[in-house]
Amino acid sequence: MIIRQNAGVTLAELMIAVGILAFVIVPIFGLLQYSNRGTREQDAEGIAANLAKEEMNRLMYVITRENLLLGAGAVHEWSFGADYDIKGNKFSGEYTVYPFTSNELAFAIPKFIFHDPQTCSSGVESNPGGTLNTPDTMTIAEVYPDTAGECRLADIRLVIRWRVATGEYNDVNQFELLARRAFVDKE
C-alpha cells in the first residue's frame, strides 16, 4: 500500500519564490549590463593610454625637428589617423607644438675663478671656497649665433579621445599628455 503525501511545494510558496527571484534578478541583470559596458570602456581607456604613449614617444624621439615644427601652433592629427579602430573602439588624437625661440632660452651658467693652473701640482683645487662668482646668464641664441633662428626647444601637447562602438566622443573619455622636447645637435 502506497501512502502519498503531497505536502511538498504549494502554489503559494512557488509564487513567493518566483517573486523573490524576480525582485533579485532584474536589478542584477541591470548591474551586469552596467558592469559589462564599464568593462568595455575600461578596455578602451587602457588601449588609449598605450596609444598615447606610443604617439608621445614618436613625437619626442622619432619624428625629425623639421617635421615636428611644421605648422607649429596648429593642431595636427596623430599618426594613427582619425577614428583608429581597435576591437570596435574608436580612437582619435591630436597634437600641437609650441616652439621656444633661442632668445627666450636664457640659462644661468656658473662662473668660475679657478687658481692659476701653472701653479697646480696636487690636482686639487686650492681655491674651492672662492672659486664661484655670481652665475651669469646666456641665451641659446648667443651660444649658437649662426643658427640663432633655429628652434631648439618645443612644448608638445597631445590629446587622446576614445569611444566604444555604441558611444560618442565626449569630454570624459579623453586625457592629455604634455612634454618638452629639446633638439640637441649630435656631434
Q: Looking at beta carbons only, is 63 or 179 nearer to another protein? A: 179
Nearest-approach distance from CB 82 to another protein, in angstroms = 21
Nearest-approach distance from CB 16 to another protein, in angstroms = 7
Q: Looking at beta carbons only, is 56 or 90 nearer to another protein? A: 56
Confirm if 164 and 40 have CB atoms less than 8 A apart: yes
- C-alpha span between 161 and 173 (Å, rounded): 6
**102 Cα distance to chain centroid:** 27
Nearest-approach distance from CB 36 to another protein, in angstroms = 9
Nearest-approach distance from CB 50 to another protein, in angstroms = 9
Neighbours of 162 (CB within 10 A): 27
Q: Looking at beta carbons only, is 84 or 174 nearer to another protein? A: 174
- C-alpha span between 69 and 67 (Å, rounded): 6
Q: Looking at beta carbons only, is 81 or 128 nearer to another protein? A: 128
